[in-house]
Amino acid sequence: MVIATVLAILSLFSKSMAAARERTFLMIKPDGVQRGLVGKIIKRFEQKGFKLVAMKFMWASEDLLKKHYADLSARPFFPGLVKYMNSGPVVPMVWEGLNVVKTGRVMLGATDPKDSAPGSIRGDLSIQVGRNIIHGSDSVESAQKEIALWFDSKEVVAWKPDTEAWVYED
């Protein structure tokens, strides 16, 4: 009886772990690309155990950037943000993993690098908010919208690395 109860609890735990696997959208901004930080940023997410399922290297159009940052369109800095983001190539990516949205935000650090903890991407690699290297989705819902905006469903690759059993318990 006790063993059956333990197995049932473990089964529920494994199912909840699988359910918490999600996708997030990250984009290395023009300053991160220009400074040659793309590989370092990708390495951090790979080392953490997250899985890259889509990536592009592109020069985003103003139209795409206006759609992406539409929630900020009423802010006074919006035109400058769009102009800056259109000033050089970016690297949009989709990452997958257990609680990747929340964990990814912690890995990025605060939007303003001066408020970012040492060890975070922004805390280690940037100084000013206007050059904070990377964008990351702030919720599962915004990740889904951003992924759909930047990637066609055929561009997001479903795959399972052989190392997955060494990262996840289920």
Which positions are catalytic? 135
The response to whether 132 counts as a known ligand-binding position is yes
29 is in an annotated binding site: yes
Where is 93: in which H helix or E strand? strand 91-98
**122 in a labelled binding site:** yes
Is 66 annotated among the ligand-binding residues? Answer: no
3 state DSSP class of 135: strand
In SS3 terms, 6-63 reads as HHHHHHHHHHHHHHCEEEEEEEECHHHHHCCCHHHHHHHHHHHCCEEEEECCECCCHH
Binding-site residues from annotation for ATP: 29, 77, 105, 111, 122, 132
Binding-site residues from annotation: 29, 77, 105, 111, 122, 132
